[in-house]
Amino acid sequence: MEQTFAVCRVSVAPVRASQTDKAEITTQLLFGDQVEVLEKAEPWWKIRNAYDDYEGWIDFKQLIEITEPEFHLSRNQQTLVPLGTLNKVIAADGSIYYLAASSNLPAYKDGVCELGKEKFQVSFEPHQTKAQVSGTDLAASALFFQNAPYLWGGRTLFGIDCSGYVQTVFKLAGIRIKRDASQQAEQGITVNFLPEAQTGDLAFFDNADGKIIHVGIMLNANQIIHASGKVRIDPIDDEGIYNPELGRYSHKLRIIKRFIDPIPTR
């Protein structure tokens, strides 16, 4: 198959494990996400997300084909949709798209972004990632999603899973991490002990078989914010996350990783 590239043309698009509407949603594409098309079995295309190399199947009507130069030009861009619920772009026909935080704005310039040959008027001030980011910055973004419902494969305020949540917060900070918790656990620098954890560190949790199944963002050495039922703040200790509503530990701590420079100590 001739190499094909495309970009997500809708606000949120489900990516499925196989080419059927009944298949599991493994992740989502957001507006402006660039992909490489690996296989075509219309109406389904198998795609690889340029941001994190995640693969899956998507209805091709939710994509716009772009050229290879457009693909390479946009894949490392840093112009994003900011935190908020009313961020919208307006198509040439006047129709409105409400966009999720961390969505891309390809080829953004002077209030306009472009998806292939289509242009969209951007009605908000885009988010520009910083050259340097702090744990406080990460925590501020993380708290925006508090109480967002848990959704397997989700990446938005209206439904998000644990690793999608972490990836989104870190994307807004300009830190690229993988999609799944088990993949994210292989990145970063290990923090040896929980009392050494700092704001913005990631804590990972495993099951009885030792497989990493959950991740959350440390607010401090005693609290974590994570997506479990909803995005919530819970206490954490050496055993794991304690859920006060359940009256028991919900997740067993495996490892803590750091992705930003540590806070200087005196």
List the catalytic residues: 162, 214, 226
2 exposure class (CB count in 10 Å sphere: 0-12, 13-18, 19+) = exposed
**Rounded Cα–Cα distance for residues 138 and 174 (Å):** 10
**Rounded Cα–Cα distance for residues 135 and 115 (Å):** 33
Three-state secondary structure of 169-232:
HHHHCCCCCCCCHHHHCCCCEEECCHHHCCCCCEEEEECCCCCEEEEEEEEECCEEEEEECEEE
Do 57 and 45 form a contact (C-beta atoms < 8 A)? Answer: yes
Helix-then-strand count for the chain, H and E: 4, 22
Say whether 2 sits in a helix, a strand or coil: coil
Question: How many CB atoms are located within 10 Å of the residue 139 CB?
Answer: 17
**Rounded Cα–Cα distance for residues 215 and 225 (Å):** 9
* Partners of 261 in the β-ladder: none
Do 47 and 9 form a contact (C-beta atoms < 8 A)? Answer: no
Pairing of strands 202-206, 96-98: unpaired
